[in-house]
Structure formats: C-alpha cells, structure tokens
Structure 1
Amino acid sequence: MRITQSMMSDRMLRNLSNSYSDLNKYSEQLSSGKKITKPSDDPVVATKGMSYRTEVRDVEQYKRNLSEAQSWIDNSDSALSNATSALQRIRELAVQASNGTYEEGQRGNIAEEVDQLKEQLATIANTQVNEKYIFNGSATNTAPVTINEDGSATVDFNSNAVNLTLSNGVDMKINVDGGAVFGEKLFNDLENFSAALRSDGSDEDLDQYIGLIDENVNNLVNERADIGARMNRMDLVASRLGDQELSATELMSNNEDAEMEEVIMNLVSQEAVHRAAMSAGARIIQPTLMDFLR
C-alpha cells in the first residue's frame, strides 16, 4: 500500500488527538481524585458506584431514624422516671394519712399535695418531643390528658404504635403505650384518694389506696423495663449500622477513588509521549515550496 503525505498527516493528527484525550483524562483524575467523571468513562465502575452510594444513603437514613428513635425512648424513660417519683411520693402520703395520727382537717392538706402531684402526672403524660406528644400513639398532635376546671382529668389516649425502620428488615416500636401507664385508672384512683382524704375517711378506707397506687407504680416499672430492653437493642443496631457504613464507604472509595501515585506517573509518562509525538509529527510534515525559496 502506497503511503502518502496526506495519510501520514491524518494519522499523526489522530494520534495527537488521542494523546490529548489521555492527557485530559489523567488531568481530570488528578484534579477530581476520582477514576471517572462520567459513566461512559467506565460503565462497570459507574454501575458499582451507584449500588455503593445507594447503600451508603440507606445507612445514613437508618442512622437518622435511629437518632429519632433514641430521642423518643430517652425522653420516654426520663418522663416515666419522673412519674414514678411522683407516684412514690403519693404512696408515702397514703401511708401517712392512714396511720390514724392526723387530726380532723389535716388530711385535707395531704389532699392538696395529691392534687398537685396529679396535675404533675398529667403534665408528664403530655410530654412533647419536637412538638409531638410521645405518649399519645400516632395522634402526636393531640394532648392525651386534660385537667378540667373542677380538677378532674379527661383522658383520651391513642393506642396505635409508632414504628421506625432502623435497619433493613428491622422495624421497632419507639413509643410507650400511654394509656397503660397514664390511663383513666391512674387519674380515677388519685381523684378518689383525694376525695377520701377530704372526707376524713377511715384508716381502712385509705389503706386500699396504697395497694391501688402500688398497681400504678408496677405499671410504670414494667413499661420502663420494656424501654430498657429496646434501648439495648438500639445499641446493637447502632453498632451494626456503624460497621455497615464503614464497609460501604470503603467499598465505594476503592471503586471510585483514583490511586494518586499511579495517576501522577501516568500523567508524567503521557506528557513525555505527547512531546515525542509532536516532535515526530513536525519531522513527518514535508517542507512546503515556500521553504525552498527562502
């Protein structure tokens, strides 16, 4: 095959163009730190990268869910702790009132404190986290307990569970069944106890309220035990999510991040090749007639 000047020039320009393309590729890798800048650079790397990024985003969302769940659980446990303290104080008052040493009217003073503690329990039952009532199931915009003008309590708890997905296939209930610990029984018992104190009921009549208060305390203790179990599980989930995030991030980095030492060597080598190609190309192009006439 006859090699013409035109063929040699075309090939030289095509090779120089490829050389520029390689220089651009290594320059972009060096400046971006990534193996590719668009999917067409390496479809396999791009496809794997999409999968790894999806996994990382999922783990990040699970961690946000876990943080919200821990906030609910921590605040619920703290509120129940305060409620337990209030009921224990009421029990102490019940024991004092039933010992028969109080004169007429003195039990009315105890009733006043019981009423104050009852209102405190209503406030605890209406605890909010991020403007959500955490003890009212899925009805988080509605206060479950209202203290009326006459001192009585109106109780309306939503029993629906509030669940969050904390990991792939792991859904956990994050709320406390408010009706089980702050329900009508609790407030009815306290209202009846207060009324009995004001009427100077007999010691035997007041003794029964000690047992009723103990039942309400036990409800709180049982619910706090359940919260403790869920806290322990969340700690395990948090540890697992940390491992998953580290693994997914490492895989994504290995897949996409360029080896800078290798990129620099390739760039330097390609620059040398490019200079040589341009030097050879300048020799290949024959002088024109004007060059001979000088």
Structure 2
Amino acid sequence: MRLSTSFMYQRQLDSMSKAMTNYNDLSVRLSAGQTLLKPSDDPGQASQAVMYQNALSRLGEFDTARKYAQDALGQEDNTLTSISGLLTEDLSGKIVQAGSETYSKADREALATELSGIRSRLLDLANSKNSDGQCIFAGYKTGAAPFKADGSYVGGTTAMTQNVSDSTEMQVGTTGDALFPTDAGTGDNILQSLQKSIDALNNLPENPTDAERKAFEATIGQTNTDVHKAIDNLGKVQARVGSSLQQLETLGSSADTQAITVQSRLQESTGSDWDTMISVLSESKMSEFALNSSMSVFQAMQQLSIFKTLG
C-alpha cells in the first residue's frame, strides 16, 4: 500500500511538473511574440526565416539606395529647371537683341553686362552642389567645381549610377559635358560661346567696318544657334531625369508590396503571425488551467493523512 501511494504521489508530481514546463514554454513564446525561439525548434522553418530576413535586409538596402537616387535626381531636376528658365526666358531673347543694327555702342555694352550676369548665373548653376556639398554635374569628380571661369569643363566624364533594385542600375547624375555639350564645329559649349558674344558686344566699334560687322554677326549668330541647341539638349536631360524619378516611384511601390509579402512569410516561418499567436494564446490559457488543476490535486493529496504519515 505504501509503494502504491508513493507511486501515485510521484505520478501527480510529474504531471504537475510537466504542466508547469508546458505553461512556462508557452509563456516564453508568447512573450517573445513568436513560436520559433531557436533553430532546433524547427530547423526547416529556421532556415526559411533566415532566407526571409536576408531578403528583407536586401530590400531595405535598395530602399535606402532609391531614397539617395530620388534625392540626387530631385536636386538635379530643380537645378535643371533654373537653368531652363535662364536659357529660355532670359538668354534666348537677349541674344537675338544683340544682333540689332540699331544698337549704339553704349547699348551693346549694356546688353553685354546683362549677358555677363546671365552667364555668371549659368556658371553658378552648372557648378551647383547638393545637400552633401558634392558638385551635381561633376560625375565622380564631386570634390571640385566642374566648370572653370572660362567655361571649360574639367569634371568627370562618367555619370554616377546607383543600383536601385536587384535588376536595375540607374543613372543618378548628369556630367557637365552632357549638360552643356561642345559644338562639333566650334568646340565651344554654351558658356564659352556666350562669352565670345559678350566680348564681341564690348569690342565692336561705334562705326564698324563691313568686315567687323560681318564677324560680329557671325559670332552672335553662332551663339544664337548654340542657345537653341542647349535648350533642346536640356529638354532631353530633363526628360531622362523625370523618367528616372517616375521609375523610382514604380520600383518603390513594387518593393513595398514585396516587403509585405516577405514579412508575412517571415512571420509564418517564425510563428509570429496573427493566427499562430492566437493559437498559442489559446494553448496558454488551457495550459494554465491544466497547471492550476494539477496543483490543486497535488495540494489536496498532500492534505490526506496517509501522505502525512509518509513524512
């Protein structure tokens, strides 16, 4: 009888211990917010979880890259808009005026001063820096101004690129020689061509000879042509930048959707999804009930006189 009673006591003690272990295990998983706490819990799911975590990390890296690209292209787009305003609203009309035969020398010198101001602003914009202090139109040579005072380009010849997704490498900058390309015939860019017209306006005599007048008109005419070419080229650069900004938005939306899917699969593999947590919570309540019941039975058994005699 004593052996049978001891056996019953031990069995109830083991049952209570098992219930407590199960309850504690479920409590830990609830507290952690997931059922997968270590690889040995489920090696297959643990492997999947690592894969999904790496995928999310990669998506995060591309998200950062896209934000950088969007910022760089946005600042470039703003600068291009300012340059466009100078070329189309200020310079194109005034360079036509420069060819007027009714202008006196004083008129031409006054116009030369205006054109010098426009050129100075164009040069400043071409040497613009971004919020990080890097020159926007210098390619990879971002530490120094890409255009010299005489208008010559000394920046990099390779445009910056950025990997913005697994399959997309995007140009995120424009080099100065692509912004203001040189004319194949004269070898001058718009800054250099404009300077020649400014010099011509300042140097044409009050009563020029036919040869002087002809040379002057040729210089002004070439600059007028260069201005229109610069406007056309600038439009192409702006179109590329605008297209890239739209593509970044599309890639960002696609990546957001992909991240939601991967995050959902990660939660499923680690047991942190909503359905699993509800199930664990339910199990925990049942386990708590089982533990309390087991403890009540054990305490009742301890109160029996037959167990008191065992002590």
| Both structures adopt the same fold (TM-score exceeding 0.5) | yes
d(CA) in 1 for partners of 2:193 and 2:282? 82
Partner of 2:114: 113
Q: Is the 8 A contact 2:30 2:280 kept in 1?
A: yes
5 Å matches for 1:75-154?
A: 75-88=75-88, 89-129=90-130, 130-147=132-149, 152-154=150-152
User: C-alpha deviations, 1:70-92, integer Å up to 9, x for none?
Assistant: 11112112211211221222221
Partner of 1:161: 159
Q: Secondary structure at the match of 2:189?
A: helix
1:271 Cα offset (Å)? 2.0
Q: Does 1:277 align with 2:268?
A: no
Partner of 1:64: 64
User: C-alpha deviations, 1:166-213, integer Å up to 9, x for none?
Assistant: 111211111112212235522210111111111226363323321122
Relative to structure 1, is the Cα distance of residues 84 and 134 closer, same or farther in structure 2, using a 3 angstrom cutoff? Answer: same
User: C-alpha deviations, 1:46-85, integer Å up to 9, x for none?
Assistant: 3222222221221122111111111111211221121122
d(CA) in 1 for partners of 2:109 and 2:161? 45
Q: Secondary structure at the match of 2:148?
A: strand
1:265 Cα offset (Å)? 2.1
Relative to structure 1, is the Cα distance of residues 268 and 207 closer, same or farther in structure 2, using a 3 angstrom cutoff? Answer: closer
Q: Secondary structure at the match of 1:172?
A: strand
d(CA) in 1 for partners of 2:195 and 2:258? 52
User: C-alpha deviations, 1:218-268, integer Å up to 9, x for none?
Assistant: 221221122222223222212211211121122223333153432232122
Partner of 2:185: none
Relative to structure 1, is the Cα distance of residues 106 and 287 closer, same or farther in structure 2, using a 3 angstrom cutoff? Answer: same
Q: Does 1:179 align with 2:193?
A: no
User: C-alpha deviations, 1:119-139, integer Å up to 9, x for none?
Assistant: 111111122222221211112
* TM-score normalised by the chain length of structure 1: 0.86
1:280 Cα offset (Å)? 4.7
Q: Does 1:25 align with 2:25?
A: yes
Q: Secondary structure at the match of 1:236?
A: helix
Q: Secondary structure at the match of 1:128?
A: coil
Relative to structure 1, is the Cα distance of residues 27 and 207 closer, same or farther in structure 2, using a 3 angstrom cutoff? Answer: same
Partner of 1:229: 243
Relative to structure 1, is the Cα distance of residues 269 and 94 closer, same or farther in structure 2, using a 3 angstrom cutoff? Answer: same
d(CA) in 2 for partners of 1:16 and 1:65? 56
d(CA) in 1 for partners of 2:26 and 2:53? 24
Q: Does 1:287 align with 2:307?
A: yes
Q: Is the 8 A contact 2:34 2:277 kept in 1?
A: no
Match of 1:238 among 252, 264, 283: 252
Q: Does 1:263 align with 2:280?
A: yes
How much identity, in percent, do the aligned residues show? 22
d(CA) in 2 for partners of 1:290 and 1:18? 24
1:279 Cα offset (Å)? 4.4
5 Å matches for 1:202-221?
A: 202=213, 204-205=217-218, 206-221=220-235
d(CA) in 2 for partners of 1:190 and 1:22? 84
Amino acid of the residue matched to residue 163 of structure 1? T
Structure 2 gaps, min length 5:
182-187, 205-211
Amino acid of the residue matched to residue 199 of structure 1? N
d(CA) in 1 for partners of 2:239 and 2:79? 14
d(CA) in 2 for partners of 1:53 and 1:77? 36
1:12 Cα offset (Å)? 4.5
Match of 1:188 among 185, 188, 192: 192
Relative to structure 1, is the Cα distance of residues 165 and 5 closer, same or farther in structure 2, using a 3 angstrom cutoff? Answer: farther
Amino acid of the residue matched to residue 261 of structure 1? I
Partner of 2:262: 248
User: C-alpha deviations, 1:139-158, integer Å up to 9, x for none?
Assistant: 222221233xxxx3453120
d(CA) in 2 for partners of 1:86 and 1:233? 28
Measured on the aligned residues, the alpha-carbon RMSD in Å equals 2.6
Which deviates more from structure 2 when the two are superposed, residues 206-215 or residues 186-195?
206-215
Matched pairs, number: 285
